[in-house]
Amino acid sequence: MEWNCQMLSQMEGREVYDMLRLRVDVFVVEQCCAYPELDGLDIEAIHIIGRDSLGIAAYARLLPPGVKYNAPAIGRVIVRPDRRGTGLGHELMKKALARSVSEWAPEQIRLQAQFHLKDFYEGHGFAAISEPYDEDGIPHIDMVWAAGEDS
């Protein structure tokens, strides 16, 4: 697995296309959820991409403090369908947390999790801070990771 962390302006056109295609394939098509995937936040984000011989296998978007919340945020966490269940999602989250900590040294990191993935994120040190709510037809929950706690 080859990993890259970069800003959108540093990415080649094909890599941007592949990233957006994976996000649309999963979040819009697979999950049958019509929502504005292109939300204007990609330009300020750090994009973590794990690539294998078939292309992008894992992806997450890191938002700096002040873009969506006062704290940094991790979002758009994806593992390609054929790589799910292999531990790649855990590797991706470790990289996303490590990069967020090294980049911004935050006291907290936020995310909006699909509710069925609550246990997965809890396994990486996140705690629920909201009740489940509907986001574009999918149950979500707000979660936070706090510096100094076990992750």
Average pLDDT value for residue range 2-9: 95
Average pLDDT value for residue range 85-103: 96
For 60, residues 6+ apart whose C-beta sits below 8 A from its C-beta are 47, 48, 74, 75, 76, 77, 78, 92, 93, 95, 96
Q: Where are the domains of the chain?
A: 2-146
pLDDT tier, 150 (very low <50, low <70, confident <90, very high otherwise): low
pLDDT tier, 50 (very low <50, low <70, confident <90, very high otherwise): very high
Instruction: Indicate if the pLDDT at residue 137 is higher than 70.
Output: yes
Beta carbons of 133 and 140 less than 8 angstroms apart: yes
CA dist., res. 18 & res. 110, Å (int): 26
pLDDT tier, 37 (very low <50, low <70, confident <90, very high otherwise): confident
- Retrieve residue 50's tokens: 């794990």
For 36, residues 6+ apart whose C-beta sits below 8 A from its C-beta are none
Fold of 2-146: Aminopeptidase (3.40.630)
Instruction: Indicate if the pLDDT at residue 96 is higher than 90.
Output: yes
Average of per-residue pLDDT values in the chain: 93
Instruction: Indicate if the pLDDT at residue 105 is higher than 70.
Output: yes
Among residues of the chain, what percentage have pLDDT more than 90? Answer: 82
- Retrieve residue 39's tokens: 């939300």
